Structure 1
Amino acid sequence: MGEVHEKALEIISLIGCGVSLISLTLTIVTFCVIRHFTQERIIHVNLCLAIGVGQVIFLAGIAATRNKVGCTIVAVLLHYFFTSVFCWMLVEGIQLYAKLVTVFDSNPARRSTAYFLTGWGVPLVIVVISVAIDHDHYGSENNCWLSVDSGLIWAFVGPALTVILTNVVFLGMVVRVIAKLQNCAEDDKYTKIRASLKAAIVLLPLLGMTWLFGLLSVNQHTIFFEYIFAILNSLQGLFIFIFYCVNSSEVRAQIARKKQTIELTHGLSFSSVPATTGYSSNRVRLLRQAKKSHIRTLPAGRQYVSLSTTEFLKKV
């Protein structure tokens, strides 16, 4: 590979992964601001963490081949976090199907534990077994990744392919069930499921194609594949932010409600009442009571109108 291509790929990777990391951070921050962590959003956050940490390690250490021990550690960590990405995508598929077929979850804590064991525990088992069997082929002279020639790469490819095929089955079952249901177009539950289904249908092939071209670029040393891998790798975080936040009507509605709550809090704050207006102590007392009452009784998921201080005082 020429120096020009190396420089171009480095720039694409830095900019692309930078955009991806910013998008992943915005996704997590958005969920934290909303403060409404459903089981589905907890899965989203863990998926973001797995991709984000993996990309940081990829940027910092994929080419750190001078130190053999350091390169081996980088390769092991990359194996763990990128396998975890696929495991959390598997959890996404399972949760989507469970959300469709389960009317009432009697034991959500048990299901969450199973999800965490799948997302973080299964990759750990895979990596520990792989390191115990063939730790010498973590890292090579060209990059800090699993060796293709020794066949160790199948410790990553095998689980990834299994997840992809399993998720295809789950998504197919979800599509089949939704297609059979009648008069569910306006049902809020199925609207959310369809939105999640669209995200999964886009993200799963994106992850699969990313690592397909990644393997081809390592094995075939073809510049075209390396460019495609660098571009697709940078799009993961951006697409997650678009589908889980920007394109989610539920998230947009909750952000709007959060904004209205803040506006109402500021609009009814005592500090917003001018000292020169000559309001009676009774009106100030009513103002304080109204502030507490409004904040305490704001209904989740219901629209309301925020009154300005002046409008409220006119009413009292």
Structure 2
Amino acid sequence: MTVDQTLESNSVMDVLNIIFMLIGLVFLTLAVMTFALCRRNPRVSNVARLNLCVCLLLAQPLFLLTQSFLHLIRPHEVLCKVLAGILHFLFLCCFMWMSIEAVLLFLSVRKLKQVKPNDRAGLHWKLSLLIGYGIPLVIVGVSASVRPDGYGSPK
């Protein structure tokens, strides 16, 4: 991070950034495939982890691509605002899914004190989807309607 406005391009850092971004995307793809395909224990729900990985898998390349092609996006004000809103939504979804996973972990640890092997700790997957995507959608909708010029900037 720099505090001054000098933007010097460093080709080594750009190449390393692309390489590590691709490595991260490969491992996120492996995580999504693992959570989607490996469902051996019916008492364990991977909904929160799967959706968190999907949101990260969508948000990371979109963020990096918008930064790489900012010179093409900047002249189109509506496109810039839409991309900023989508990124805001995806990152809020990531935080919401992390919160849901924390609540599910808390509930499962609390269930360890009780001996009920057939009980499933956690939320129903439909309720999880409603919370995980609904709350961020409401936040982005309210913020876009209250201050429509808040998304997108010349920078």
- Give TM-score, length-normalised by structure 1: 0.40
Q: Does 1:41 align with 2:46?
A: yes
Q: Which residue of 2 aligns with 1:88?
A: 97
Matched-pair contact (CA < 8 Å) for 2:80–2:152:
yes
C-alpha separation between the residues in 1 aligned to 2:131 and 2:137? 10
Give the partner amino acid of 1:72.
K
Q: Does 1:72 align with 2:81?
A: yes
Match of 1:129, SS state, is: helix
Q: How does 1:1-316 map to 2 (within 5 A)?
A: 1-5=6-10, 7=11, 10-36=14-40, 39-62=44-67, 63=70, 64-102=73-111, 103=116, 104-105=119-120, 111-142=124-155
Gaps of 5+ in 2: 1-5
C-alpha separation between the residues in 2 aligned to 1:40 and 1:57? 28
Going from structure 1 to structure 2, the CA distance change for 1:122 and 1:70 (only over 3 Å counts) comes to same
Matched-pair contact (CA < 8 Å) for 2:35–2:49:
no
C-alpha separation between the residues in 2 aligned to 1:9 and 1:128? 36
Matched-pair contact (CA < 8 Å) for 2:74–2:154:
yes
Q: Which residue of 1 aligns with 2:3?
A: none
Report how many aligned residue pairs link the two structures. 139
Match of 2:147, SS state, is: helix
Structure 1 or 2: more helix by fraction = 1
Going from structure 1 to structure 2, the CA distance change for 1:66 and 1:121 (only over 3 Å counts) comes to same
Note the C-alpha offset of 1:59. Answer: 2.1
Q: Deviations over 1:13-46 (max 9, x none)?
A: 3222211111110112223443437543221110
Match of 2:31, SS state, is: helix
C-alpha separation between the residues in 2 aligned to 1:112 and 1:8? 44
Matched-pair contact (CA < 8 Å) for 1:40–1:95:
no
Q: Which residue of 2 aligns with 1:227?
A: none
Give the partner amino acid of 2:53.
C
RMSD value, Cα: 2.2
Give the partner amino acid of 2:60.
Q
C-alpha separation between the residues in 2 aligned to 1:37 and 1:21? 27
Gaps of 5+ in 1: 143-316
Matched-pair contact (CA < 8 Å) for 1:14–1:59:
no
Q: Deviations over 1:113-163 (max 9, x none)?
A: 332122111100100000001121211111xxxxxxxxxxxxxxxxxxxxx
